[in-house]
Structure 1
Amino acid sequence: MTNFIPLFPLPLVVFPGEDLNLHIFEPRYKQLITDCYAAKKPFGIPSVINNEVMELGTLVEIVEISKVYDNGEMDIKTKATVVFKILEQIQELPHKLYHGAIVTYPTTKYLGSAPLMKKILQSIRELHSLINVHKDFKKPDESLLSFDVAHHAGMTIEEEYQLLGYDEELHRQEYIKRHLVKVLGVMSQMDLLRTKVQLNGHFKNLEGFKF
């Protein structure tokens, strides 16, 4: 299926199911939100990476306009729904400040591995413990999918964008698992380095090498 959607490019990756709160201040996007809210239509957030609008993004629905300021700026709450792929950008729309695109919707599958997700959650919580961070996933562990935990795994925007492009849940789980193995390995080396630095200058009780 293909259709036209307004675009609101942002330097982030939005995952399906994500709740995203935004403060709208640019005139073109104030117009976009006003139009979409009045028509009860969604808009698309394609990722911007290295000042380039990428071809993948996520469709979001406006849940509510929480506040409208005197200057027309707005606080809004949105809910991300599905991944889209841009086929053609439409730079000029009649009487509109914003632009849009013709998009298609890749099939996204959500059947993964429960044991693998359990390992991913253990690794994420281990990472959070190491950096002294606490995050609430707001869902029971057994209900969590890769998209629910991806922002908590310490990935770069490029890595999150690559994850967005995987159609299969199992592939997304494997990607996050490999990332966490790498990150936790680095953290382990940092702890070892910290220990070595702290021991430097101390009297050392070491056994000599036996030839």
Structure 2
Amino acid sequence: MLKAIPLFPLDTVLFPGGPLRLRIFEQRYLDLVRDCARDGRAFGVCLILEGREAGEPALPAAVGTTARITDFYTLPDGLLGISAEGGERFQVASTRVRDNGLVYGEVRFWPDEPAVAVPPEHGLLATILERLLDEIGGVFAKVERTRYDDASWVGFRLAETLPLAQPEKQQLLQMTDPLQRLARIQHYLPRFQRA
């Protein structure tokens, strides 16, 4: 079943459960934030394939993630800042641009991934993630130890934390098998090893 949601094309990939902080200044996105906050709705975040974040409507990737606003604040420059959290993944069937320049997508939501334990051959990835998150701090620094046993959670957190190119992150988002995602991330690891 298709559902129409507002889209916010960005130069970043949002993963389920992942944090997102945005600086809002264009009127179309101020409208989006107002409407979503008023109705408790989520908006869709898609990686920009062509175009830019500001100005003319950009061409979004066909797979994205919903974002639900969790906090508002005023930035030092006086602009609106929001914090949001990634939710469900979706596939865009079609888009249309409203007269205010806001892109709406007819989307089909993907089911949640099945709960799969991190297998022994990918145990190193959970250890690396735990060390990274301890070092970085932030929202995931103090999560329950059991989260590191969840293949989807570990894969999504590594995908957003490692310095991968945005198209690589998009590929990881589009994968539907958590173990295949971990295998792909393990394939990327050698490039991050110190000489």
Q: Which residue of 76, 81, 87 corresponds with 1:81?
A: 87
TM-score normalised by structure 1 residue count = 0.74
Label 1:125 to 1:16 Cα distance change in 2 as closer, same or farther (>3 A).
Answer: closer
Note the aligned Cα RMSD (angstroms). Answer: 2.6
Structure 2 residue aligned with 1:134: 135
What whole-Å deviation, never above 9, does each CA across 1:15-47 have from its counterpart, x for those lacking one?
000121111011111111111111211110111
SS in structure 1 of the partner of residue 11 of structure 2: coil
**2:80 maps to amino acid:** M
What whole-Å deviation, never above 9, does each CA across 1:105-129 have from its counterpart, x for those lacking one?
1234143342344211345578x6x
Label 1:154 to 1:148 Cα distance change in 2 as closer, same or farther (>3 A).
Answer: same
Q: Does 1:121 align with 2:126?
A: yes
**1:7 maps to amino acid:** L
Q: Which residue of 157, 175, 179 corresponds with 1:166?
A: 175
Q: Which runs of 5+ in 1 are unaligned?
A: 192-211
| Contact 1:111/1:168 (<8 A) preserved | no
Structure 1 residue aligned with 2:157: 148
What whole-Å deviation, never above 9, does each CA across 1:70-126 have from its counterpart, x for those lacking one?
97x311111110111100001125xx4412110001234143342344211345578
Label 1:156 to 1:70 Cα distance change in 2 as closer, same or farther (>3 A).
Answer: closer
**2:91 maps to amino acid:** K
Task: Compare the two structures and name the one with the higher strand fraction.
Answer: 2
TM-score normalised by structure 2 residue count = 0.79
Q: Which segment is superposed worse, 41-50 or 135-144? A: 135-144
Identity %: 24
- Number of aligned residue pairs: give it: 178
Q: Quote how far apart the aligned CAs of 1:152 are.
A: 2.2
| Contact 1:107/1:167 (<8 A) preserved | no
Structure 2 residue aligned with 1:16: 16
Q: Which segment is superposed worse, 59-68 or 78-87? A: 59-68
Structure 2: distance between partners of 1:108 and 1:174:
19
Structure 2: distance between partners of 1:142 and 1:118:
13
